[in-house]
Amino acid sequence: MKIKFVSLFIVCAFFLNCGSVTHDEPKIYVSGVEPLMDKDTHAVLAEIEDKWEFQCSKFWTTQNPTLKDISRDIKGDTEFTEQELSKIFSPKGEYKVMVFFKLLSREKIASGTISSMGQSLPQAGEGATDKSYAYIRVVFRDDKLVYFNVWRD
């Protein structure tokens, strides 16, 4: 019984340690985007798309938007909070909002049973795949970065 517990503890510690790289990765992007504040669009996109290999999934542009315009045009998982809306879009100008994503990890989820030694015994057929993504949302006003948000799903 003690061997099973120790084995389970070691396996759990291993998996927690392996996952820490992808959990810290969004923090790296936050510290990478912060120095780009007030930089032009091309410099920011070169960092995000070329250096970090993110892909653009959403793009929205408007001139002097109202809060109603923004709420109507930007929906889904990239919506802004009311505090963000008033903070970011109050000044007049030309706005560009872009959302980028990057696959951080892909792991097969085995379906099956657990042996008496604590090992997974897969069943016939394919298991599901668990994917983890990082997202970066950037807001440009008059071609200067004024706001960003980084998150992980």
Integer CA distances (angstroms), 130 to 40, 124, 127, in order: 36, 19, 10
Task: Indicate whether 17 belongs to any domain.
Answer: no
Residue 67: pLDDT over 70: yes
Greater model confidence, 9 or 91: 91
Amino acid letter at 130?
D
Phi, psi of 53 (to 5 degrees): 60, 40
Task: Indicate whether 84 belongs to any domain.
Answer: yes
Task: Indicate whether 138 belongs to any domain.
Answer: yes
Task: Indicate whether 86 belongs to any domain.
Answer: yes
Task: Indicate whether 111 belongs to any domain.
Answer: yes
Greater model confidence, 63 or 126: 63
Please state the pTM of the whole predicted model.
0.71
Task: Indicate whether 6 belongs to any domain.
Answer: no
Q: Given pLDDT bands bounded at 50, 70 and 90, which one contains residue 14? A: very low
Structural domain range at position 49: 24-152
Task: Indicate whether 1 belongs to any domain.
Answer: no
Mean pLDDT of the chain: 79
Greater model confidence, 127 or 146: 146
* Strands of the chain, DSSP E: 55-63, 94-109, 112-114, 120-122, 128-141, 144-152
pLDDT at position 2, please? 54
Report yes or no: 139 and 96 within 8 Å, Cβ to Cβ. Answer: yes
Q: State the total domains in the chain.
A: 1
Task: Indicate whether 91 belongs to any domain.
Answer: yes
Question: What is the tens place of the pLDDT at every residue in 71-118?
Answer: 777 777 677 888 888 889 989 999 999 999 999 888 776 566 666 666
Tokens representing residue 30 in the block = 């936050």
Greater model confidence, 94 or 26: 94
